[in-house]
Amino acid sequence: MGTALVILAAGLGTRMRSDLPKVLHEVAGTSLLAHAIRAGRALAPERVIVVAGHGAEAVEAAAREVEPEAQVVRQHEQLGTAHAVAQAAPALEGFAGDVVVLYGDTPFIRPETLSAMAAARGGADIVVLGFDAADPGRYGRLVTEGDRLKRIVEYKDTTEAERAITLCNSGVMAAEAAALMDLVAAVGNDNASGEYYLTDVVALGAARGLTAGVVACDEAETLGINSRAELAAAEAAFQARARAEALETGVTLAAPETVHFAFDTAIGRDAVVEPFVVFGPGVTVETGARIRAFSHLEGCHVARGAEVGPYARLRPGAELEEDARVGNFVEVKNARLGAGAKANHLAYLGDAEVGAGANIGAGTITCNYDGVSKHRTEIGAGAFIGSDTMLVAPVRVGAGALTASGSVITDDVPDAALAIGRARQETKPGLARKLMDRLRAQASRRGKEAG
Ligand code: UD1
Ligand code: CA
């Protein structure tokens, strides 16, 4: 029997004080919504349904980016989480399995936890994911009797005795689709907020003879984000875990607290990451590579033994093959550096192919953009690009070719050729002194006139 994921993502999240829908705020380089969708993949869902409201178009686009098959339904007014789930009814047409509800503002649920919930469905009609909170704050409380869940009380509706309960509701819930949709349709809004609470399905179900159980997980997984402070706390929690994992898998981090990871950063064993390095999404660093201090990497691949930085920037599509080197103040975008190729100082390599062992001199720029389109530069193996060469793309420099410093290269350079594209130097003996004398004399005349 299959699973359908229903992800609630309609709220604006007023406490964020933002024009951006809450679920599109980012942790570790990707939206809260994308985190929730990825977490749900553990259940190999047959359908992924996102309930959008505020900023629905942007939410839909973000959902499709991670899950092209996602169905996005609208909740025009945010009347509560039960009302939100009810909007998924048309998208669940003809679906007979279990529904798992996830909240779009709760990004860290682990795959193992969702699997444990699916397994617990064998023993209960409704399974709720709970956690024992150090500070239960404003979370909904789970009222249990033995190992049965009797009902969930929202914070605003708790009695003093209920407020003392530390077992809290994460928002994740699993039940058979038809039963759940029947229950959400029956939920009323007679409570402190006047909202239709999804949490009420537990008590309603009990009245109809349906059982409910709790699967407990670590509080860190259920962190729900409602404010900027909670967003920052979530980022900090993510980074702490990512650093610990990197160390655990054999990565050297000299100052772990200064390295910033993305949700999908992959770093091989024995790689070294120096202090103050930022990884955006889509980075893979292989075994033994070294990322030196103050570098910024995203959407790139750094092969074994390659070295990046200090102060380097690798943008999407940068590909460093084995033992390649990219040094300080070098920017690489959509470009491959073959094995052992070097660009050690002050260069821009965009839309380029650099052959193995080629040497890119300081100040080299691939002029890849003509104001309308991007063009490619090809540099052959073992080529030597002299300092301050402008490579006006599309252009090709052959294997073993050499460009003279300061050249503007507009025509292809054959293999092994030398290309010089610069004004010829003229040297005038003694002229510097004459020129200076004249300038000083002029300045002193002006001084006398003024004084
Ligand atoms: C909810 C739970 C609470 C739980 C907490 C865990 C309810 C009634 N309460 O409270 O028991 O402890 O999460 O974090 O479910 N949403 C919609 N449409 C709506 C209302 C909400 O899509 O009409 C979405 C929000 O965008 C959000 C999620 O549902 O992603 C949760 O809503 P939120 O208002 O944040 O609920 P909490 O008050 O945090
Ligand atoms: Ca919330």
Whether the CB-CB separation of 126 and 174 falls below 8 Å is answered with yes
N-to-C CA span, the chain: 97
Residue nearest to atom 14 of ligand 1 (CA): 224
Say how many Å lie between the CA of residue 139 and the centre of ligand 1: 10
Query: What residue's CA is closest to ligand 1, atom 11?
Result: 140
Beta bridge partners of 175: 99, 126
Among the atoms of ligand 1, which is closest to the Cα of residue 224?
14
Q: Is 81 in the pocket of ligand 1 (CB under 6 A)?
A: yes
Q: Give the CA distances from residue 317 to residues 186, 260, 350, 357, in Å, rounded to whole numbers and listed in that order.
A: 52, 20, 9, 20
Query: How many CB atoms sit inside 10 A of residue 374's CB?
Result: 13
Tell me the pLDDT of the chain (451 aa) as tens digits: 799 999 999 988 899 999 999 999 999 999 999 999 999 999 999 999 999 999 999 999 999 999 999 999 999 999 999 999 999 999 999 999 999 999 999 999 999 999 999 999 999 999 999 999 999 999 999 999 999 999 999 999 999 999 999 999 999 999 999 999 999 999 999 999 999 999 999 999 999 999 999 999 999 999 999 999 999 999 999 999 999 999 999 999 999 999 999 999 999 999 999 999 999 999 999 999 999 999 999 999 999 999 999 999 999 999 999 999 999 999 999 999 999 999 999 999 999 999 999 999 999 999 999 999 999 999 999 999 999 999 999 999 999 999 999 999 999 999 999 999 999 999 999 999 999 999 999 999 999 998 8
DSSP class of residue 57 equals H
Residue with CA closest to ligand 1 atom 8? 197
| Catalytic residue ranges | 345
Quote the strand ranges of 126-265, DSSP E. 126-132, 141-145, 148-153, 167-176, 212-217, 252-253
Q: 310 preceded by cis ω (within 30°)?
A: yes
Ligand 1 contact via 10 beta carbon (within 6 Å): yes
**pLDDT computed for residue 270 by the predictor:** 98
d(CA 304, CA 306): 6
Q: What is the 3-state secondary structure (H, E, C) of 249-289?
A: CCCEECCHHHCECCCCCEECCCCEECCCCEECCCCEECCCC
Looking at the CA of 143, name the nearest ligand: 1
CATH of 228-419, one of 3.40.50.2300, 2.160.10.10, 3.20.20.60, 3.40.50.170: 2.160.10.10
For residue 103, the CA-to-ligand 1 centroid distance in Å is 7
Q: Is the CB–ligand 1 distance for residue 197 below 6 Å? A: yes
Q: Which of 137, 91, 355 has its CA nearest to residue 229?
A: 137
Distance CA 8, CA 53 (A): 9
- Determine how β-strand 313-314 pairs with β-strand 325-337: parallel
Ligand 1 contact via 140 beta carbon (within 6 Å): yes
Whether the CB-CB separation of 8 and 101 falls below 8 Å is answered with yes
pLDDT at 12: 87
Q: Whose CA is nearest to atom 36 of ligand 1?
A: 81
User: Which residue's alpha carbon is at the smallest distance from atom 13 of ligand 1?
Assistant: 171
> Is residue 48 in contact with ligand 1, taking CB distance under 6 Å?
no
Cα 81 to ligand 1 centroid, rounded to whole Å: 6
* Alpha carbon of 224 to ligand 2 centroid (Å): 5
382 CB under 6 A from ligand 1? no
Among 103, 138, 189, which is best to mutate for testing ligand 1, by the most ligand atoms less than 8 A from CB? 103
> Which is the closest atom of ligand 1 to the Cα of 84?
18
Please tell me what DSSP assigns to residue 425. P
> Closest ligand to 82 CA?
1
Contact 55 CB / ligand 1 (< 6 Å): no
Q: Is the C-beta atom of 200 inside 6 A of ligand 1?
A: no
Closest atom, ligand 1, to C-alpha of 32: 30
pLDDT at position 105: 96
Site to probe by mutation for ligand 1, drawn from 81, 165, 168 as the one with most ligand atoms within 8 Å of Cβ, is 81
Query: Quick one: which of 417, 358, 349, 409 has its CA closest to 382?
Result: 358
Residues 386/406, Cβ–Cβ less than 8 Å: yes
Task: Name the residue among 298, 354, 366, 296 with its Cα closest to residue 324.
Answer: 354
E strand spans, 10-85: 26-27, 30-31, 47-52, 71-74
CATH topology for 2-222 is Spore Coat Polysaccharide Biosynthesis Protein SpsA; Chain A (3.90.550)
340 lines ligand 1 (CB under 6 A): no
The C-alpha atoms of residue 140 and residue 163 are separated, in whole angstroms, by 9
Q: Where are the chain's structural domains?
A: 2-222, 228-419
